[in-house]
């Protein structure tokens, strides 16, 4: 689905990473790991067209999306991409349901179907019956679960998750990874930037960002079961 070819990112004279090449297929979960400051979030932002790489290409279904204009980029974010941000990216003075309705596409859902999809997604993340609560009344972990429910309603083809379990306890971390796995098994490509050994070992493949002074990335299969560490 996504082919990254010789991607580089620099800030002035500092090269964050260079000549990055890898592929993320439909149905695959890829963990991006590395020390803080190594450029994991920047790599995700480039994949989501929130930042431009300094060189190289990102191809979605064969098309170089780094060359897209603003309208095409908006369409890609609207129709293809689902993003779990570290800051949740929710509308704080809106209700939980209103935040989810934003992504309930009219061509996919009727009004009644959208309400059902929202209720089911909230039930799945442990927030059933809380549709009318304002976002600013929720804890950070609850807001992250709302963001995950929004992702379930949107049903994107590509998910980029930036430290999606950082504010969650063990039980909710397992739930988040389970849901991302379900989305992957349904045909979604999932890329997760994480410091969690548990999350890493639940993924199908691992991309290691070495960070400065090195600018290389290594890819390897996930560790055997039973070796997860946080």
User: What is the domain partition of the chain in residue ranges?
Assistant: 1-80+156-223, 88-155
Please answer whether residues 187 and 80 qualify as being in contact, where contact means their C-beta atoms are separated by less than 8 angstroms: no
Do the beta carbons of residue 96 and residue 131 sit within 8 Å? yes
> Closest Cα to residue 150, out of 187, 184, 121?
121
For residues 15 and 171, the answer to whether their CB atoms sit within 8 Å is no
Reference 81, options 147, 157, 151; nearest CA is 157
Helix (H, G, I), strand (E, B) or coil at 195: coil
Q: How far is CA 60 from CA 25, 76, 158, 203, in A?
A: 10, 10, 10, 21
3-state SS of the chain: helix, strand, coil percent to 5?
Answer: 35, 25, 40
What is the chain's Cα-based Rg?
18
Hey, how many other C-beta atoms are within 10 angstroms of the C-beta on 50? 16
Count Cβ atoms below 10 Å from residue 195 Cβ, excluding itself.
15
Q: Are strands 2-11 and 14-24 parallel, antiparallel or unpaired?
A: antiparallel
Positive or negative, the CA dihedral 104, 108, 113, 118 is negative
Q: Cα(29)–Cα(136) distance, rounded to whole angstroms? A: 31
The whole-number pLDDT of residue 211 equals 60
For residues 124 and 179, the answer to whether their CB atoms sit within 8 Å is: yes
Rounded distance between C-alpha atoms, residue 105 and residue 102, angstroms: 8
Per-residue pLDDT of the chain (230 residues; tens, 9 = 90+): 899 999 999 988 888 888 888 999 999 999 999 888 888 999 999 999 999 999 999 999 999 999 999 999 999 999 999 999 888 899 999 999 999 999 987 666 676 788 899 999 999 999 999 999 999 999 988 999 999 999 999 999 999 999 998 878 899 899 999 999 999 999 999 999 999 999 999 999 999 887 655 444 555 555 443 333 33
Among the four given CATH numbers 1.20.210.10, 3.40.50.300, 3.20.20.70, 3.30.70.2610, the one describing domain 1-80+156-223 = 3.40.50.300
* Global model pTM greater than 0.95: no
């Amino acid at each position: 689905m996504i082919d990254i070819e010789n991607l580089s990112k620099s800030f002035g004279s500092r090269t964050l990473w260079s000549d990055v090449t890898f592929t993320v297929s439909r149905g695959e979960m890829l963990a991006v790991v590395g020390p803080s400051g190594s450029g994991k979030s920047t790599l995700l932002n480039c994949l989501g067209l929130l930042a431009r790489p300094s060189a190289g290409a990102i191809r979605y279904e064969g098309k170089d999306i780094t060359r897209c204009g603003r309208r095409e980029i908006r369409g890609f974010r609207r129709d293809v991409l689902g993003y779990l941000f570290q800051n949740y990216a929710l509308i704080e003075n809106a209700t939980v349901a209103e935040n989810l309705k934003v992504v309930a596409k009219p061509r996919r859902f009727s009004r009644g179907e959208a309400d059902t999809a929202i209720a089911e997604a909230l039930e799945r993340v442990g927030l059933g019956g809380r549709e009318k609560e304002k976002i600013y009344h929720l804890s950070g972990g609850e807001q992250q679960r709302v963001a995950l429910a929004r992702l379930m309603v949107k049903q994107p083809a590509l998910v980029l998750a930036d430290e999606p379990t950082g504010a969650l306890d063990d039980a909710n971390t397992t739930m988040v990874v389970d849901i991302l796995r379900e989305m992957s098994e349904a045909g979604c490509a999932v890329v997760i930037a994480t410091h969690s050994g548990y999350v890493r070992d639940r993924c199908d493949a691992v991309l290691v960002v070495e960070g400065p002074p090195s600018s290389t990335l290594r890819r390897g299969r996930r560790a055997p079961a039973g070796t997860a560490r946080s």
